[in-house]
Structure 1
Amino acid sequence: MNATHRKPTQYESLLAGIVAGGVEGAVTYPAEFVKTRAQFTANKGQAVGVIPIFRETLRERGIKGLYSGAGALIVGNSLKAGVRFLTYDSVKTVFADSNGKMTPGRTMLAGLAAGVVEAIVAVTPSETVKTKMIQDATSARLYHNMVDGTIGICRAEGFKGIYRGLWPTIMKQGANSAVRFSSYAFIQSQLVHLTRPPSGKLSSAMTFGAGAGAGLITVYATMPLDNIKTRMQATGAELRYNNSADCFLKIVRQEGVLRLWGGTTPRLARLMFSGGIIFAVYERLINVMTVF
C-alpha cells in the first residue's frame, strides 16, 4: 500500500531546506570558487579559462584552496535554502486553488517572493563575505575564516559592508527562484505525466534530473545579474561603480556584452548539480517527515 502524505508544516519546510542547502553548498563549492575567480580575472576583456584557474589553485594551495570562503557560503546556503522553501511553501498555500494546484504564473510569483526574502535574510551577507574571501585568497590574505572575514569587513566598511550589492542580489535571487521553481514545476509535471509513477511522486533520480534541468535554465536566464552582483560585492566596488546600472554599463562598454555571461561554465556545473541535489534532498526529507 502506498504511503499518504500531509502538507509539510512551516518548521518542516525550514528544517528540510536548511539540511538540503548545507549538503548542496558543501558538495558544489569548488565550482562556485572557480566561477567567482573567473568573474574577477580578465585578460583583454576575456575571462581566464576555468581549467587554468582550477589547476593554478590546486598547484598553489591544494584542495583546501578550492574551499576558500566555503564556510560563509555553506552557512549562508543552509539559511538561504531554509528561508527559500519556507517562504515558497507559505506563499504556495495562499496561491494554490482548492485542489492544491498552482498555475505557472502563480508558481513564478511564489518563487520570486522566496528569492527576495532569501536575498535580504541570508544571501547578501553570506555572498559578500564569500566573494571578498575568494578575492582575498589571491592577494593579501587579510581574512582567515568566515568569522574573521565578517568582523574585518564590518570594521573596515561598517555593518553596511556585508550588505553591499543588496539590490543586484535581490534582483538575482528573485529571478533565480522565479525561474528555478517554475521550470522545476514544469519539468516535474512533464516527467510525472510521462512516467506515471504508482505513488504519483518521482523517484530521487528523476527529482534530481528535474532539478538539474531547472538549474540549467536558471543559469542562462540570470547570469548577467550574477556577474553584476559579484562585481558590486568585490573589495573597492564602491570606488569603481556608482550603482548596479553603472556597473552594467561599464562591463558592456569596457569588456563587451558577452562578459555578462563570464563564469557561465562553472556556474552551470554548480547550479545543475545544486538544483538536482537540493530538490532531491528536500523532497526526500519532506516525504519522510510528512508520511502518515
Structure 2
Amino acid sequence: MSAAHRDSEQKPQRLHTPQWVSLVSGGIAGAVEATITYPFEYSKTRVQLLDNSAIKTSNPLRLISQVAKQEGLGALYTGCSTLVIGTAAKAAVRFLSYDTIRNSLADDRGVLSPARGILAGMTAGAVESVLAVTPTERIKTALIDDAKGARQFKSSLHATKVLVQRHGITELYRGLVSTAMKQSATSAVRMGTYNVLKEALKSRGIKTNVVTTFGTGALAGVVTVYATQPFDTIKTRAQGVQGATIGEASRSVIRDYGIRGFWKGSSMRLGRLLLSGGIVFSVYEEVSAILSPSTHR
C-alpha cells in the first residue's frame, strides 16, 4: 500500500452540504419559523414604534391578548405574508451563504473555529440584508406602523406600490445600513453561538437530535436578543412609515425612552427568537438530513 493511499485513509473526509440543499432547507425552515412566531414579531415592532393607541403594555402576551380582543385575531398577522416570504428568502440566503463560507473556512475535520464561525455568520447576515431583508422589513414595519392610525395601506403589495410611487424604488431600501448592521450582528452572534454549542456537544460525544438541536438553537436565540437588541430598535425606528436616518432614529429612542429604550421590545423579541432559534435550526437540520443524508451522518 502506497504512503499516499495510507494518508488518504487516515485523513478524515470533509462532508460539504450541497448548496441547493442549504438553499431549500433554509427557505423551508424560515417559512415555518416565521409563520409560528409572527405574533411576537408584531408585538415587538408595535412596542418599538411610539404607540399612540389605547393599548399600553410592554408585556408581549398581554399585548397580543389585547390586540386580539380589540382589533381582532387577524390584526396580529398584519404584514405576516411579507415577513413569511422575506424570512423564507433571508433564511435561504443566510444558510446558503453561511454553509458556503463554512465549507471554505472549516478545517480538514469539517470543524469551524469560534472566530471563523462568527465571521461566516457576519458575512451571511450582510448578504441577506441586501438581497432579502431590507425590502421586506421596510414593508412589514410600515404596515404595522400604519395599522395604528390612518390605515392608508390595504395590503403588502399596496404598501409597496404606494411607497415606490411616492419616493421611488430606493424607498424599499430605507434603513439599509441599520438593517445590515442588525443582520450582520444578529447572524454573527446567532450562527457563531450555535456553531460553538454544536461543536461542544460533539466533543462530549453527545449525539444531535431534534431535542438537542432545538435546545441549542433556542439558547443561541437568547444570547442573540440581548447582544443585538439596540440594532433592531434603531432599524425599526428607521423603517417606520415616515422613515428616519440612523442618527434621527437613535435620538428619537433616547428622547422617548432614554438609553434603556434601545432594549425596548427585547422581551417580545426574546419570545420570538427563543422559539425561532429552536425551530429554524431543527427544521433546517431535519430537512437537510432528508435531502442529503450523506452529509448528516
TM-score normalised according to structure 1 size: 0.90
Structure 1 equivalent of residue 31 of structure 2? 22
Which residue of 248, 252, 266 maps to 2:268?
266
Q: Which amino acid aligns with 1:220?
A: Y
- 8 Å Cα contact 2:29-2:283 kept in structure 1: yes
Residues 44-59 of structure 1 mapped to structure 2, 5 A cutoff:
48-50=57-59, 51-59=61-69
Structure 1 equivalent of residue 168 of structure 2? 158
Which consecutive unaligned segments of at least 5 residues does structure 1 have? none
Structure 1 equivalent of residue 81 of structure 2? 71
Structure 2 equivalent of residue 168 of structure 1? 178
Offset from partner CA, 1:88-125 (integer Å, 9 cap, x none): 01111111122222111111000000000000011100
Match status 1:219 vs 2:186: no
d(CA) in 2 for partners of 1:52, 1:277: 23
1:194–1:95 CA distance, 2 compared to 1 (3 A) = closer
Which residue of 107, 110, 117 maps to 2:120?
110
SS of structure 2 residue aligned to 1:41 = coil
Match status 1:288 vs 2:290: yes
SS of structure 2 residue aligned to 1:123 = helix
Please, what is the CA RMSD of the aligned residues? 1.8
What is the percent sequence identity of the aligned residues? 38
Which residue of 190, 203, 206 maps to 1:196?
206
Offset from partner CA, 1:101-155 (integer Å, 9 cap, x none): 2111111000000000000011100000000111111211222222112112111
Say which is worse superposed, 99-108 or 51-60, in terms of deviation. 51-60
- 8 Å Cα contact 1:37-1:53 kept in structure 2: no
Structure 2 equivalent of residue 34 of structure 1? 43
Q: Which amino acid aligns with 2:47?
A: A
d(CA) in 1 for partners of 2:206, 2:276: 25
Aligned residues: 278
Which residue of 144, 152, 157 maps to 1:147?
157
d(CA) in 2 for partners of 1:124, 1:208: 27
Structure 2 equivalent of residue 8 of structure 1? 17
d(CA) in 1 for partners of 2:14, 2:81: 35
1:98–1:191 CA distance, 2 compared to 1 (3 A) = closer
- By how many angstroms is 1:52 displaced? 4.6
1:42–1:65 CA distance, 2 compared to 1 (3 A) = closer
d(CA) in 2 for partners of 1:120, 1:86: 14
Which residue of 99, 102, 127 maps to 2:109?
99
Q: Which amino acid aligns with 1:244?
A: I
The structure with more radius of gyration: 2
Which consecutive unaligned segments of at least 5 residues does structure 2 have? 1-12
d(CA) in 2 for partners of 1:22, 1:41: 29
